Amino acid sequence: MAFQLSRIMRPDDANVAGNVHGGTILKMIEEAGAIISTRHCNSQNGERCVAALARVERTDFLSPMCIGEVAHVSAEITYTSKHSVEVQVNVLSENILTGAKKLTNKATLWYVPLSLKNVDKVLEVPPVVYSRQEQEEEGRKRYEAQKLERMETKWRNGDIVQPVLNPEPNTVSYSQSSLIHLVGPSDCTLHGFVHGGVTMKLMDEVAGIVAARHCKTNIVTASVDAINFHDKIRKGFVITISGRMTFTSNKSMEIEVLVDADPVVDSSQKRYRAASAFFTYVSLSQEGRSLPVPQLVPETEDEKKRFEEGKGRYLQMKAKRQGQAEPQP
């Protein structure tokens, strides 16, 4: 099963330099994933459902997309477990004047089907037919790996970003930022909870503010580590999206983004962590060339610990890219 959506990029999709926001691309990726997974989960007779986003694996922004180009987002279901669907998405940009196309993004998303009668009830997923036997086993390994990482991430995500008065430049406190958003009907599915793509777009916006405050230049999203959606966010909730710098290399910045949901009109429910992720940004000159990034100055023990953890992720990904670049024998 495959699905494709396309649309032209408009000025309100882009930053001041004319590059399309990473959050805009993430939102389109999620829309395509939600459509194909919801279609699949309703392909057999049974209780009707809607597919909700549970996780987005790491995605790299391979090439910038500009105003006036057409984004082609293609989605395909590549694995199903009993209660989840894996969707692979590719994004191409097309210059409609020359016809030239280039790959800008590749992403893997996981969805779970929620009953329309009770959105807290997860339904079973119809199985897919694999073209070769190895595909199912490879998919099962990916499923088990992401399931384990989601649980580990949920347990270590208890802290909160706190404001600091008169912070020094290049410190974590200096650039950290928060956005408070009241969830309205336009943010939600027809069933009253927030689209995953809306949340990702807001997360990217906050991460971009943190990056811009830190280096005071034009910035672009380079990659997003796995985004985990720990719980649903309902219409009428107030969400706080907080971002803080965790690590800088010579030319990149890692920013942790946390999403907390507050059911302000329901005193029986407490504030909870709804989503979390790490975004990586790079600093660019007006000509679009990569610039050095001011080095982050961690002050507290927690900041130093997060810096070392970020450094570990950076070195691990750098080694992986170098390994992929080596010629095969």
166 is catalytic: no
In three state form, how does the secondary structure of 270-303 look?
CCEEEEEEEEEEEEECCCCCECCCCCCECCCHHH
Give the chain's end-to-end CA distance (angstroms, integer): 35
Q: What is the DSSP letter of 193?
A: B
Alpha-carbon Rg of the chain, whole angstroms? 20
Distance, CA of 264 to CA of 73 (rounded, Å): 36
**Pick the catalytic residue: 13, 187, 204, 225?**
204
Considering the candidates 15, 90, 157, 170, report the single residue annotated as catalytic. 15
- What is the sign of the dihedral through the CA atoms of 96, 100, 103 and 104? negative
Ranges of beta strands (E only) in the chain are: 2-8, 49-56, 59-60, 70-80, 85-94, 101-115, 177-182, 218-224, 227-229, 238-248, 253-262, 272-284
> Is residue 12 flagged as an active site residue?
no
How many Å apart are CA 220 and CA 281, to the nearest integer? 6
48-68 in b/e burial notation, b at 16+ Cβ within 10 A? Answer: ebbbbbbbbbbbbbeebbeee
Contacts of 286 (CB under 8 A, 6+ apart): 17, 218
β pairing state of 101-115 and 238-248: unpaired
Give the three-class secondary structure for 6.
strand
DSSP conformation letters of 51-84: EEEEEE--EEB-S--BTTPEEEEEEEEEEE-SS-
Catalytic residues: 15, 204
